[in-house]
Amino acid sequence: MNNGLVQLTSHRIWHIPNFNVWGVQNLGEIEYLNLEQVDSTKSVAFGSISIGDSSQSVTFAGLTDRRGNSLPANITKALVIARPLSDRQVFMVGTETSTGFKIARDSKSNKPVTTDLLIIELGE
């Protein structure tokens, strides 16, 4: 068999249609100073907190492809490609792991964004 054809067909590919993306990207981290007085005791506290961190975590095991097949729990070197079905964009947050990925939608959209996902197992 042709070496290129073997290489191409040795990797699994899944198409997940009409996936709803509701998460939004992290808006950043803020630092704060808190002053407190309880009776005669005064306290000052300093800290930082992430705001708006509600990106959507997705596990491969929780997905079903267009044929109704569940995806495996682990995918070796997965590549996830999102194709939005509207003018609102979606994007990957960070990098894919062997068990899943994070995805977020355009924060200007006031509702979930529907997208098609193409997941490719790149392998070793």
Q: What is the DSSP string of 21-77?
A: E--B---EEEEEEEEEEETTEEEEEEEEEEES-BPEEEEGGG-B-TTSPBPPS--TT
- Residue range 3-32, pLDDT digits in tens: 666 555 568 999 999 999 998 876 556 677
Q: What predicted TM-score, i.e. pTM, was given to this entire model? A: 0.70
- pLDDT at residue 37 in the model: 79
Cα separation, 123 vs 67, whole angstroms: 22
H or E segment and range at residue 82: strand 78-84
